[in-house]
Structure 1
Amino acid sequence: MQRAPQAHPLFGGALSAVLPHSTVDTSELREIPDNQEVFAHAHTDQSLIVEVVEYQAQVADQDAARYHFEDIAGSNKASEPGGFQVTDVVPLSQSELALSDCSSAWMLTGTQCVSKFNEEAKNTVTLHLSVFRLPQFSTDLLISFNDPQSISPASSSAASSGTHREPWTLQDFQRLVQTLTLHDPGLFG
């Protein structure tokens, strides 16, 4: 009999969520900003980021996912023409979310053409981004799933991209989003 997946503590237990299989906590490998939890797939170049950012009051709820996606594109230097594209933005039903404190939640799917570690080689990455709006805490909570679609042979990721042993799926990401739970609002200040 298979056990139900266990929720993983995030931000010292202030949040929790069910993470997919083969998850490596990136903070054990390199320095991660305090407002992020970053996980990498053990065998693919996929990654998941849970991020606490400032609530953008000037951005309408239905535009929040696109706003943050474009901000991430800028940080990834994917902002040149053709560097990023939004494919879909949909509202998430709060009845399906464990994080019921949010005023609204959205999921965006898009692509970004990005370099890893400031290399010249560009990789095409599908980015799934969920945004939980928490105005009462002056916070937008972001969960992003980076799923590389094509890796340049000149990229440092090319060596790890050959063997895709059970990559994460959109369903794995959706389960993480749906199981995200707030345990301590003190996280938000």
Structure 2
Amino acid sequence: MSTFKSTELFGGALVADLPSTFSDISTIRQVPDHQEIYLDPNGFTNVIIEVNQRVPAEDASTDMEALKYHFKDIVATETDEVKFWSEDTASLTKMPDTPAFVLFATTHPVEGDNRAKDDFTGIMLILIRLEKQTTDILVAVNVPHIPGEYEKDTINLDQQKIGPHLEAGLAIRKHILETFEVKDWSLFAADE
């Protein structure tokens, strides 16, 4: 089981516990200003935190539609087969009145995609909706499954057998839900 550490995001405006072994990608490559990316140096799992403009009601009339809207924005659905396994409301332990939603999906490269290096990627999303700030915070825990790096017989998603890598990813998502907090509301331009 991973150990976690409190991690300041966006200059300390946001805080969440992330696995203590994960590294900030911005120390080795440029990352867009609206993102923070942390990578497991001993594997392939990563956590991406994005501060986005809130999806307007005309593009997504429900919160779950907004969650899928963001999902489609981050996944190359034209080159991947996508399967949604679960979606639900969630609770932020430190911000219990803030609407939050979760989704678990997998992407599989389509047959004949010569670029594909992975068998599939598990994607565990958290959407945190800040209506007054017209902001959606998206947290993606991405768990690529690379041939030879996992035991295929440990996974059968149709039978809810997710294997150790996805179990670890879900534990990371759960820990983020328990520890995520906004410390500095001035991060959001529309804050009153």
Q: Which runs of 5+ in 1 are unaligned?
A: 153-157
Query: Does 2:93 match 1:97?
Result: yes
C-alpha separation between the residues in 1 aligned to 2:102 and 2:129? 12
- Pairwise CA distance, 1:122: 4.5
Secondary structure of the 1:112 match is strand
Q: Which amino acid aligns with 1:72?
A: I
Task: Give the equivalent residue in structure 2 for 1:170.
Answer: 170
Separation of aligned partners in 1, 2:97 and 2:53: 16
For 1:155, the equivalent position in structure 2 comes to none
Distance in 2 between the 1:16 and 1:122 partners?
33
Matched, 1:70 2:66: no
| Structure 2 residue 41 is matched with structure 1 residue 33 | no
Paired AA for residue 187 in structure 2: L
When residues 101 and 15 of structure 1 are mapped into structure 2, their CA distance, relative to the original with a 3 A threshold, is farther
Shifted more, 126-135 versus 168-177: the winner is 168-177
Equivalents in 1 of 2:95, 2:49: separation in Å? 14
TM-aligned CA deviation for residue 32 of structure 1: 0.2
The RMSD of aligned alpha carbons is 2.5
Q: Indicate if the aligned counterparts of 1:20 and 1:173 stay in contact, CA closer than 8 A.
A: no
**Percent identity between the aligned chains?**
28
Higher RCO (CA < 8 A, seq sep 6+): 1
Distance, in Å, in 2 between the alignment partners of 1:169 and 1:109 is: 10
1:21-63 deviation digits (Å, cap 9, x = unpaired): 3111100111000100100001001100010001012121132
Residue 143 of structure 1 is matched in structure 2 by 139
Equivalent pair of 1:143/1:177 in contact (CA under 8 Å): no
DSSP-derived class of the 2:19 partner: coil
State the Cα distance separating 1:126 from its structure 2 match. 0.4
2:12 aligned residue: 13
The normalised TM-score by structure 1 is 0.78
Q: Which residue of 2 aligns with 1:125?
A: 121
Unpaired runs of 5+ in structure 2? 151-163
Q: Which runs of 4+ in 1 moved over 3 A?
A: 166-169
Partner of 2:161: none
Aligned twin of 1:107: 102
Conserved 8 A contact 2:5-2:19 = no
Amino acid at match of 1:120: R
Deviation at 1:5, TM superposition (A): 4.8
Structure 2 SS opposite 1:137: coil
Instruction: Work out the CA distance in 2 between the residues paired with 1:70 and 1:169.
Output: 20
Name the residue aligned to 1:43: 42
**Structure 1 residues 114 and 39, CA, compared in 2 at 3 Å: closer, same or farther?**
farther
Residue of structure 1 in register with 2:188 after alignment: 188
Q: Which TM-score applies when normalising by structure 2?
A: 0.77
Aligned residue pairs, count: 166
Query: What are the superposed Cα offsets for residues 132-186 of structure 1, whole Å, 9 maximum, x if unpaired?
Result: 011100100000000113x25xxxxx7xx47xxx964411221012211101111
Change (3 A) 1:114 1:30: farther
